Amino acid sequence: MGSLLAKEEVARECLVEPKLAKAENADAAASANEGDMETSLAKAVPDGFAAENKFGDSYRNYEDSSRQAEVSRTYNAMHTKQTLEFVREQHAKWLKFDKGEFTILEIIEMLDDLIDDSDPDNDLPNSIHDFQTAERIREQWPGEEYDWFHLVGLLHDLGKVMALPKLAGDCTLEQWAVVGDTFCVGCAPAMDAIVFSDSFKENPDYNHPVYGTQNGIYEPGCGISNLVMSWGHDEYMFQMLKANGCTIPEAGLNMIRFHSFYPWHDKRAYTHLEAKEDAETMKWVKEFNKFDLYSKGDAIPNVEEVKPYYQSLLKKYNLDGKLKW
């Protein structure tokens, strides 16, 4: 799509820039008094969203949440087992897109059977969260010129279907290889920016002479899009959409690819690997992120009522009919 903010018409620029600037200012204000990592997890909730999650707790509480047992177990396994070799194996296995052909709505229906074990804020099926996110974006970014953004909200988590036998069959992955915050492999983890980071010490790559160093296999300034991310639903869904000829703008596809990369877009780790163009990518990822995170406190949308709208967007962006997964 190129630089979205540079290429839009002047009138549209005047609308986009204040929205993104307002989001950045809110993030800066929320971060102003951050101390240690635990304090920084309890950021101010943007206006218009529920102040607490469905459990009456702050969002992204990884210390003592109502779901602490399953959340900590999932992250500890992820950080111990996600090596560069493992990720490359998953690329070879999953990026063939030979697991079957299904429509987007069929995949969403499958996600009725998945509750994300890494999420301290939600114990509802993931299919509900998809519509919650999409509808909140649609409410705050109305208009046809942003309908791709609405669709991103619906699509962003569909890669979690890798954890469901209905699609994955014998290739079904455990949730530690599908859900949760992502990080880049092939270099040292940003320990101060990642939840449950002590578990990395059991990862075979942690003391590797190359993979265990700050730069690892990367050159400084190489760009976030050139990093090898831990395997999960973000990277899979990004690659799946590209392979199936999706025409959502690149900004939207990058929202999907990096929305779980909290160590980067929230904690600002890995900045030594950023390229100049990553600044705009991060603006859009952060704008998306507030809907992804805080919509979990919203009421459940009437799915049958809104479904025709999203079906029209699937057709518009070349995602109607059966797709390869």
Tell whether the model's pLDDT for residue 124 goes beyond 90: no
Read off the tokens for 123: 């114990």
Q: Residue type for 25, please?
A: N
| Widest distance between CA atoms in the chain | 55
Q: How far apart are CA 324 and CA 227, in angstroms?
A: 25
Taking a C-beta distance cutoff of 8 angstroms, is the pair 134, 153 a contact?
A: yes
Q: Residue type for 55, please?
A: F
Q: Residue type for 239, please?
A: Q
Q: How far apart are CA 128 and CA 130, in angstroms?
A: 5
Mean pLDDT, rounded, of the chain? 88
Q: How far apart are CA 284 and CA 304, in angstroms?
A: 29
The SS3 of residue 88 is helix
Provide the pLDDT for residue 43. Answer: 59
Task: Render pLDDT for 129-148 as a digit per residue (tens, 0 to 9).
Answer: 999 999 999 999 999 999 99
The SS3 of residue 8 is coil
Provide the pLDDT for residue 55. Answer: 78
Rg (CA), the chain: 19
Provide the pLDDT for residue 49. Answer: 84
Name beta bridge partners: 185.
228
Taking a C-beta distance cutoff of 8 angstroms, is the pair 287, 20 a contact?
A: yes
Taking a C-beta distance cutoff of 8 angstroms, is the pair 62, 71 a contact?
A: yes
Task: Render pLDDT for 155-198 as a digit per residue (tens, 0 to 9).
Answer: 999 999 999 999 999 999 999 999 999 999 999 999 999 999 99
Taking a C-beta distance cutoff of 8 angstroms, is the pair 317, 151 a contact?
A: yes
End-to-end CA distance of the chain: 24
Tell whether the model's pLDDT for residue 25 goes beyond 60: no
Give percent above pLDDT 90 in the chain: 74
Q: Looking at residues 71-96, what average pLDDT do you find?
A: 98
Provide the pLDDT for residue 297. Answer: 64
Signed CA dihedral, 230, 196, 191, 152: sign only: positive
Average the pLDDT over each of 62-71, 242-251, 258-267, 313-322 and give the range with the smallest value.
62-71
Provide the pLDDT for residue 165. Answer: 97
Q: Looking at residues 233-248, what average pLDDT do you find?
A: 98
**Length of the chain (residues):** 325
Q: How far apart are CA 265 and CA 168, in angstroms?
A: 30
User: What crossing angle do the helices spanning 250-258 and 278-294 adopt, rounded to 10°?
Assistant: 60
Q: How far apart are CA 316 and CA 40, in angstroms?
A: 40
Q: Looking at residues 287-294, what average pLDDT do you find?
A: 89
Provide the pLDDT for residue 309. Answer: 98
What is the enclosing helix (H) or strand (E) of 110?
helix 104-110
Q: Looking at residues 244-250, what average pLDDT do you find?
A: 98
Supply φ then ψ for residue 53, to 5 degrees.
-75, 180
Tell whether the model's pLDDT for residue 41 goes beyond 90: no
Provide the pLDDT for residue 63. Answer: 92
Provide the pLDDT for residue 19. Answer: 53
The SS3 of residue 189 is coil
Q: Looking at residues 1-23, what average pLDDT do you find?
A: 39
DSSP structure class, residue 87: H
> 277 versus 25: which is more confidently predicted?
277
